[in-house]
Amino acid sequence: MRYKKLGRTGQEVSVIGFGASPLGNEFGGIDPAEGERAVDAAIDNGINFFDTSPYYGRTLSEERLGKALEGKRHKVVLATKCGRYDLNGFDFSAARVKTSVEESLRRLRTDHIDVFTAHDIEFGDREQIINETLPAMRELQKQGKIGFVGISALPLKILADVAARGKVDTIISYSHFNLMMRDLDNLLTPTAEANGIGLINAAALHLRILTREGPTPQHPASPAIKEAGRKIVAAIEARGLDAAVTAVSFALRHSYSSSLLVGMSRVDEVQSNLMALDLQIDPALLAEIDGILTPVKNQIWPSGRPENADA
């Protein structure tokens, strides 16, 4: 395993992070015992960054991860979130931030959270996030309940703005640096670097578009994006490669991000993601993929309030 500093936090995190949303049945039911074995396998192989949220499985992910980490909590950098609790359930108020952390601490069976992230801030009021949510999180930091304060979203401009004005420690960005999207460095990476903010990348599979099984019917991408993803998977498999492993390998190339969060709930998924550490991708394959992407280059789906959109 390789490790990187997480911005100015001083934390060293594994370049592959354990995304725990599948532990909450976010992509279908799982075997809870296999989920625990996956957590053990990840730790045994050097993965030390674990990220969850009360939103994932509507608290189920936190509950299962907390149980799986009993006796091993000291081995990991543990991250969870606040602000999003259901599909359309958002509350970024200071009062809810403070109750949320207490609930997460109980479910995760710990006395502190290493990284506490305001979840999907594009669904909230930007000024409330800066003037109420983040200050409340800083209070929790002073109390020793959390280590560092972060934000997450899909649109990039709100992340860059809130990160700079709100002086956050970490950012989680998803679906903006992978085989299908390459626009993370247009705005967000320079902001993170200039301010010493730890950048965490996620969604190397573009929310499962870059898998043989393909995305769920509920995936918000356009038909054209999904078709491009299907063609990319076919091009990868034509070379005898696993599409998911190849996608993870590519996303690991980002020079500044500290960790790549990948959803896992089975031991074989942990093992596949570890294979990506050493995979070398043929430049000819990347050129073919770039050609496939031409009609949908850097196109993303909308997320959140209109005023928080990138366009």
55, 56, 174, 256: which one is catalytic? 56
| Cα–Cα distance measured from residue 32 to residue 265, given in angstroms and rounded to the nearest whole number | 8
Residue with tokens 């000291």: 74
**Contact in structure between 42 and 49 (CB atoms under 8 Å):** no
Is 56 a known active-site residue? yes
Bridge partners (DSSP) listed for residue 49: 77
Name which of 127, 128, 75, 137 is nearest 101 in CA terms: 137
First vs last C-alpha separation in the chain: 38
Pairing of β 113-118 and β 146-153 = parallel
Q: How many residues does the chain have?
A: 311
Cβ atoms within 10 Å of 28's Cβ, excluding its own: 8
Instruction: From residue 258, give the alpha-carbon distance in Å to each of 92, 118, 254, 275.
Output: 26, 19, 9, 18
Q: What amino acid positions are annotated as catalytic residues?
A: 56
